[in-house]
Amino acid sequence: MTDTQENPIRQAIADAISENDVILFMKGTPEAPACGFSARTVGVLQSLDTRFAAVDILPDPRIRQELSALSQWPTIPQLFVRGELVGGADIVTEMYEAGELAELLGAQAQAPLDEPAVVDHSTLQIENRLA
């Protein structure tokens, strides 16, 4: 048996990553980020008018633990695009500033970071999938 088959939280995380083209694991929600790094990453995605799923890792510490074990990345937020880890806030910001993130996401022109677009994004709650 694989780790994801033995571990329902890890399996839910793996499923969420595979089911969403763009997914952000963050502290808080896009509407109410609970840390500056998560807020910055949400702002970048919104400025590119990107539709994304978001998972708040704070309600259950096991989500963060299993996410980091799965991704081999220790910090939050973690952005995944088409099943691949892009990175955290610093990498996402650097890619944004270089125009690489817009290219990866297939986004059009970039808006300034201080004027994020209003985006209709879905929010995914992993803990709700474990019932």
In the block, residue with structure tokens 């033995």: 6
Q: DSSP secondary structure string, 68-118?
A: HHHHT--SS-EEEETTEEEESHHHHHHHHHHTHHHHHHT--SPPPTTSPPP
DSSP 8-state code for residue 49: T
DSSP 8-state code for residue 123: B
| CA–CA separation, 112 and 20 (whole Å) | 26
Residue 71 to residues 13, 48, 50, 85, 97, Cα–Cα distance (Å): 10, 24, 22, 7, 24
Return per-residue pLDDT of the chain as tens, 131 residues: 455 568 899 999 999 999 999 999 999 999 999 999 999 999 999 999 999 999 999 999 999 999 999 999 999 999 999 999 999 999 999 999 999 999 999 875 455 555 444 444 445 555 444 43
Question: Is-above-0.85 flag for pTM?
Answer: no
| Domain residue spans of the chain | 3-105+119-126
At the fourth CATH level, the homologous superfamily of domain 3-105+119-126 is: Glutaredoxin (3.40.30.10)
